[in-house]
Amino acid sequence: MPDYDRSVGVPKVLMLRIATYNIHKGRGLDGRVRIERILGVLREIDADIIALQEVVNRPGRSLQDYQAGYLAEQLGCAYTVGDTRTLRRTPFANVTLSRWPIERAQHIDLSVAGRRPRGALRTDIRVGERLLHVFNVHLGTAARERRAQARLIDERLLKAMDVSGQRIIMGDFNDWNHGLVTRTLFKEFHLTDLAEHLPRVRGYPAVLPLLHLDHVYLDHHLTIEKARFHRNRRSLVASDHLPLVVDLTFTRA
């Protein structure tokens, strides 16, 4: 159970927990694909909205193949899927899980010519009378690729004309050198600074974190109360990333 109360007494304030987690296709540091371990980590996190990257999405197969549906069913969540690429006829996707109703989903192409396909999954979530636009992002590993993706993010995410609610942009940005992607998003969401809430911002690789790849950016009615990397025996072996967990307050204007 979470260590905070979601039923806040002040009507204009809602508390929620979000998380972003690159599950590495369910392949752990022992080389075994065990989506059940990922499920165990997600149950420990107990988040309301979860952005997953590198999820196998092949319906009609075993639970190791149809990871998106399996995780959503076991957690009792609604979910959306944004397929990004196919390797050996197996689709890989960004997946967003939500305890609240989902109104809309859209895959946004962030691919750069000559590189692997990449994208962001937009999921519009209705939280009571409030609307959240959650963008689940997985960017490329090359610096020049991410510079091009920074422009795509600005054009296709930040300047989207049909966004009327509050935005959450989170995922695996692969921007460990704080390049143009980080600068672009920090300029837009200058009030979001995870370093103020985390003793260490590095979460990759899980066993000996050296790089800051996983980020969360928030609109101004969303405030970070607490942030942490979920680190225990199970999460250290379940994937090569640690899940980043953030507790928020959502203040209605």
Residue 147 lies in a domain: yes
pLDDT of residue 92: 81
Q: Enter the tokens of residue 1.
A: 């159970």
Q: Tell me whether residue 5 is in a domain.
A: no
| Beta strands across the sheet bearing 13-22 | 78-87, 90-98, 49-56, 13-22, 244-251, 222-229
The helices-and-strands tally (H runs, E runs) of the chain is 5, 11
What end-to-end distance do the CA atoms of the chain give, in Å?
Answer: 29
Alpha helices in 12-66 (DSSP H): 35-45
Distance from C-alpha of 64 to C-alpha of 41, rounded to nearest angstrom? 16
In a domain, 110, yes or no: yes
Closest listed residue to residue 227, CA positions, set 238, 209, 214: 214
Q: Is the pLDDT of residue 238 over 70?
A: yes
Can you tell me the distance from the alpha carbon of 140 to that of 103, in angstroms, rounded to the nearest whole number?
28
Q: What angle is formed at CA 234 by the lines to CA 243 and CA 73, rounded to 5 degrees? A: 70
pLDDT of residue 5: 44
pLDDT at 241 over 50: yes
The Cβ-side half-sphere exposure at 201, using a 13 Å CA radius, reads: 15
Domains held by the chain: number: 1
Convert the pLDDT of each residue in 123-160 to its tens digit: 999 998 899 999 999 999 999 999 999 999 999 999 99
Residue 130 belongs to a domain: yes
Q: What is the CATH number of the domain that holds 17?
A: 3.60.10.10
**Residue 60 confidence (pLDDT) above 70:** no
Q: What is the residue range of 245's domain?
A: 13-251
pTM flag (> 0.75): yes
In a domain, 7, yes or no: no
Give 233's contacts (C-beta < 8 A, 6+ positions apart): none
Q: How confident is the model at residue 207 (pLDDT cuts 50, 70, 90)?
A: confident
161 is a domain residue:
yes
Distance CA 6, CA 87 (A): 40
User: Residue 10: pLDDT above 50?
Assistant: no
Tell me the residue type at 160. A
